[in-house]
Amino acid sequence: MVAAEFDNYLNSLDEILVPTKPSSEETASQQAETHDIVAAEDEMAEARRKLSSLLDMDFPSLICFKDLDELASLASKLRKDPTLTAEQLVKLKLIQEIPTFCEVFLENRGVMEQADKFFTALEDNKAKVNSLKQEYSKLKQEVTDAQSEMDSSAAAVQDIDNKIAELKAQRTELTKLIDKKKRAKDELIYNQKLVANSIPKVVHEVQTANTKRTEWELKKENGARREAEILAKFAPLKGFSL
């Protein structure tokens, strides 16, 4: 550069070094762009907060959350964040899959609950059979005792008949006792029959349940395995937050 050109260059430095003011349209555009960026950041922060709050729930509660669409929507929105790591993106994708497992998980839980009810009823009926057996044995012994007393009283009546003149009053009392014991015996026999009639029914229920035991054990086993698979699939979400 020659001296004259360099002088001109020095004279123009004031204009070169003074920053050019943007036009009003450029300023408005920059302000709108800044506002949009801030709004987007706020929206993303709110999505992080909501998702982190939902992930604090245990998985069975989370998968039964009434608004799973919102959960999937939050995960989808956050996946657009360019600052996320690959691991975070994978976990957000996993969260989006939760609604597809809700129905299967609930059905599986229902089957397991039905299996528990089945086994509870089975054990109750087994206990009931034992109780009825004890009651039957007790009534049977009471019938035997009543018959023994009747036999003894009848023998006494025979003796009284041989001494009817002398023991008429005693015979009358013993006859009343026999009638009383007979009524008691009839009542005991009636109760005995009721118990006897109920035993085959309960035994049949237990036998019928035993035929289905393997089926329900398999259902419960499959349900437990399926639940374990689902819980294992979403185990990486434990403690996950954004």
Tens of pLDDT, residues 34-90: 544 555 566 677 777 776 666 666 666 666 655 666 777 777 777 777 777 788 778
Establish if 141 belongs to a structural domain: yes
Query: Which parts of 21-97 fold into alpha helices (H)?
Result: 24-55, 59-63, 68-78, 86-96
Contacts from 49-56 at CB under 8 Å and sequence distance 24+?
50/74, 51/75, 51/78, 51/95, 51/242, 52/241, 52/242, 55/95, 55/237, 55/240, 55/241
Integer Cα distance of 1 and 9 in angstroms: 10
Q: How far apart, in whole angstroms, are the C-alpha atoms of residue 161 and residue 110?
A: 75
> What local confidence, expressed as pLDDT, does residue 56 receive?
61
Distance of alpha carbon 153 from alpha carbon 171, whole angstroms? 10
- The reported pLDDT for the residue numbered 148 is 92
The alpha carbon of residue 70 and the mean position of all alpha carbons in its chain are separated, in whole angstroms, by: 24
Position 190 pLDDT exceeds 90: yes
- pLDDT digits over 108-146, tens only? 888 888 999 999 998 998 888 888 889 889 999 999 999
**What domain count does the chain have?**
1
Terminal C-alpha separation, the chain: 59
Residue 151 maps to a domain: yes
Tokens 């992930």 belong to which residue?
55
**116 in any annotated domain:** no
- pLDDT category at 21 given cuts 50, 70, 90 is low
186 lies in some domain: yes
What pLDDT shows up at residue 41?
65
Question: Where do we find the tokens 């009638």?
Answer: 179
214 located within any domain: yes
Its pTM stands at 0.37
Within a domain: 218: yes
Host domain of residue 144: 134-232
Mean pLDDT for the stretch of residues 3-17: 68
The pLDDT, as a whole number, for residue 61 is 62
Percent of the residues in the chain that have a pLDDT greater than 90, as a whole number: 29
CB 213 within 8 A of CB 122: yes
194-212 mean pLDDT: 91
